[in-house]
Amino acid sequence: MIHSISLPPGEFGGPHVQELFTNCLDWDAHPNFDEIRDLKVSAHLLISRDGEITQFVPFGRRAWHAGDSCFRGRAACNDFSIGIELEGEDDTPYTDEQYGHLVAAIKAICGCYPEITVRHIAGHSDVSPGRKSDPGPAFDWLRLYDGLKGNSKYLS
């Protein structure tokens, strides 16, 4: 599942996302953090604006990234999905480095989990419609699919 995140909203490059995912965020460090005070969330991967990938949760373990969600009739997506966060926000274009590393990460995941194909990739907005909008209109799904199409096993 593809997500986007920035903390504070619209600001990139600081330590706050990593601090949130490791339960170390100083809630008083920014006025916006009061809105998410005590939020307990995590993701399997975070891809920063420069393409750096940080893994927070092993792929075989549950990460708390989807919340109230449903994919193809199956509820509680945290129980069976891999959450990939892109540092960004809905209306800000993602970087070339992010797309390149996202494609590489998905190919690696598909190599380890052959049952995962492009048809299993969804945005947070797809599994939580009306509640979530990420990765948003700035995310180029066709660019992602084009990056994956070099190997037909990911497209089945």
Per-position DSSP letters for 89-126, written without gaps between them: -TTSPPPHHHHHHHHHHHHHHHHH-TT--GGG--BHHH
Strand partners, 74: 71
Q: Is 67 exposed, middle or buried (0-12, 13-18, 19+ CB in 10 A)?
A: middle
Amino acid making up residue 131: R
Which residue in 19, 85, 87, 89 is the catalytic one?
Answer: 85
Residue 85 among the catalytic residues: yes
N- to C-terminal Cα separation, the chain: 17
The residue among 100, 110, 108 whose CA lies nearest residue 144 is 100
Known catalytic residues are 85
